[in-house]
Amino acid sequence: MAREFTSVGVVGLGTMGAGIVEVFARNGIDVVAVEISDGALERGRSNLTGSTDRAVARGKLAEADRDALLSRVDFQVGLDALHSVDLVIEAVPEHLDLKQRLFAELDRICRPETILATNTSSLSVTEISVATGRPNQVIGIHFFNPAPVMKLVEVVRTVVTSAEVVADVEALCARLGKVDVTINDRAGFIANALLFGYLNHAVAMYESHYATREDIDAAMKLGCGLPMGPLALMDLIGLDTAYEILDTMYRRGGRDRRHAPVPLLKQMVTAGLLGRKSGRGFYTYERPGSPKVVPDERTPAATAPAQADGARAIAKVGVVGSGTMATGIIEVFAKAGYEVVSVTRGAEKSAKVCEAVKTSLNKGVVRGKLSEHDRDAALGRVTWSATLDHLADVDLVVEAVVEELSVKKALFASLDEICKPGVVLATTTSSLPVVDVAMATHRPADVVGLHFFNPAPVMPLVEIVRTIRTSEETAVTARAVCAAVGKTGVVCADRSGFVVNALLFPYLNDAVRMLEASYSTADDIDHAMKLGCGYPMGPFELLDVVGLDVSLAIQRELYLELREPGFAPAPLLEHLVTAGYLGRKTGRGFRDHTRR
C-alpha cells in the first residue's frame, strides 16, 4: 500500500518552487516552504499569493479555497524547519554543487524515512543522491512550469532508488491530479531531451540569419500548432537556464553536437539578455517579467504586416497540378478574388479538379464559412484548362505537381517559354532545392518557393523560399500575395526543410531514437510532450499521421544536405518503413490503427 504523505517541505520559492507549494497545498497537504533569507522568503510568499490571487480573479479558485490553501503553508527561513516532514522537494538553481550541499544538509536534518526529491530538469539525480547517506530514498520529481497548470510530472529513478519510493511518489502524483511518466536517470529526461535540441536548432537558424526571429516563431506556431515559437519559449524559460540545460545535456548525453549551446546563446547570457526575466532576450519586453513584447531596433520592417510597396501587381494566377494541394491553392486564390487558370494534364483530370474545388466550396457553405454567393463568385473566377499555353497572360504561376526534380525542372523550362516577362514563377515544393528549379529557366530572379501547407484553404502558413538568385521584388511580391490571400508568409533561405520541416523532423527522429534505446514507451513520450510542453500531438502520434516513409525521406534529405551526425535517420525508423509500417495509411506504424 502506498505511503500517505501528510506534510512536505519545499526548498526554494522562485516561480517553480512557489508553484510546487501551491500544488501540494491545493490538494490538502501541509507544506513547509523554506528559503535562505527573510527577503527571499517574502519574495516567495509574494509569488504564491500572486498566483492564487490571479486564480481567484479568473474564477479558477474560490476565495475560501485560496484562504484554506494559504493556511496550509508554513513559511520558514532555514532547513531546520524540515526536520519532521515526510517528503522534501528542492527547486533551487540548476547547479550540481549547490544541490549536493543542500542534500547533504537535508540528509542530516530530516528523519531517516523522509524521501528527498529534486525538481532538476537536467542534472544527474544519481550524482545528487550520493551526497546523502540514503541514496535509495532520493528521487527526481520534475514538475513543469507553471506547476499548478501543467499536468505532467517526470518521476526519475536512479539505479538504487527503491521500488517502494517510486511507487509512493507515483501514488502521490495521482493524488495531486498529475500524470506521471517514470523514467531512468538520463540527461534531459524525456521532455527536455527532445525539446532543447529543437530550441538550440532554432537559435542556430536565427544566428545564421536564415530567417528572422518572428518568422521562425510564426512558422512553428502556425505550421505545427505549437503554443509558442521556439525563440519566444527560450525567453520564457530564461536564456541562462536554457544554456545550463543544454551544456549539461551535451556533457552528460554523449556530446551530441545538437545539444552544444549555439555561441549566440552564450553571448546573450554574458550580456545579461536573459529573456523575460531581464526584460530582453530574443525579444524586448515592456519590463522585466512582463510577457508583453515591445518593438526594438532589431525588428525588421518585413516582419510587420506585408507591405505592397515594391510588389508587382498580381491579378491573374495560374495553378498547375491536379492533386489535393493544387485544388486547395486554386480555392485559396479564387476565394481571395483572383482570376485563376487551372492547368492539368488532360480534360479528365481537369474535370476532377473542378469537382474537387466545387465539393470543398460546398462544404464551406454547409458549415457556414461561406455564402452561396461567395461560392458561386469564386467558381466563376476559375478557368479550367488542359494546356500550359493558357498561362501566357497570367501574373503568377504556382506549380503543385509531383515531388520529382526532373518533372519540376521540365515544367519550369516550359513556363519560361510560355509566360510573359515579369511573371512570378513559384514552386510549392516541400523538400527539393528551389534553386535547381529556378535554374531550369532563364529568369531565376523571378522564381520563388511558396510552400503551402495541407489543407491549403485551412492552414494559415506559407513558407516563402528565397534562392540566392531570387530578386527582392519577387520576394516582396510573394509576401504581399500571401497577405492578400489571408496567409502568414514567412521568409527563409533555400535550404532543405525550410523552417518547419527542418525543425520538426529532427525532433521526431530524436523521439524515435529515444524509443529505440528503450528509455521510455511511445505512450509516455507522447504524454511527456503533450502534457509537459503543450504540444497538440505527441511525436509518435504525429509520425503515424504524417507517414513514417515521408518522415524518413525528409530526414534523409536533411542529413544529406547538412551532414550533421545527429540528423542521421534512426535505424528503427528505417526498419519500420522497410517492413511496410508506414503509419495510418497502412494501419500500422508506431501503433496498431487497424483496431480503431
The beta strand positions in 367-510, using DSSP E, are: 382-385, 396-399, 424-427, 447-452, 461-466, 488-493
Distance CA 142, CA 120 (A): 6
Grouping H, G, I as helix, E, B as strand and the rest as coil, residue 449 is strand
Contact in structure between 51 and 21 (CB atoms under 8 Å): no
> Whose CA is closest to 27, among 191, 171, 180?
171
Question: Could you write out the DSSP letters of every residue in 226-264?
Answer: -SS-HHHHHHHH-HHHHHHHHHHHHHHTT--GGGSPPHH
Bridge partners (DSSP) of residue 384 are 342
The cell numbers describing 107, all together, are 540528509
Active-site annotation, residues: 121, 142, 154, 192
The cell numbers describing 553, all together, are 525521406
The cell numbers describing 16, all together, are 517553480
- In order of 17, 343, 385, 426, 521, the CA distances from 388 in angstroms are 65, 6, 8, 15, 51
Distance CA 529, CA 537 (A): 8
Distance CA 528, CA 544 (A): 17
In the chain, what is the straight-line distance between the N-terminal and C-terminal CA atoms, in Å? 35
Distance CA 140, CA 142 (A): 6
Distance CA 317, CA 399 (A): 11
How many other CB atoms are there within 10 angstroms of residue 64's CB atom? 9
How many other CB atoms are there within 10 angstroms of residue 259's CB atom? 24
Contact in structure between 307 and 314 (CB atoms under 8 Å): no
- Amino acid identity of residue 230, one-letter, is P
Bridge partners (DSSP) of residue 88 are 9, 116
Instruction: Return left, alpha or beta for 580; rule: phi > 0 is left, psi -120 to 50 is alpha, else beta.
Output: left
Distance CA 539, CA 201 (A): 17
Residue appearing with cell numbers 529515444: 514
Residue appearing with cell numbers 518522415: 551
Distance CA 241, CA 274 (A): 9
- In order of 349, 381, 460, 500, the CA distances from 360 in angstroms are 17, 15, 17, 26
Sheet holding 316-320, edge to edge: 382-385, 339-343, 316-320, 396-399, 424-427, 447-452, 461-466, 488-493
Distance CA 85, CA 83 (A): 6
How many other CB atoms are there within 10 angstroms of residue 363's CB atom? 13
Contact in structure between 412 and 436 (CB atoms under 8 Å): no
The cell numbers describing 463, all together, are 513558407
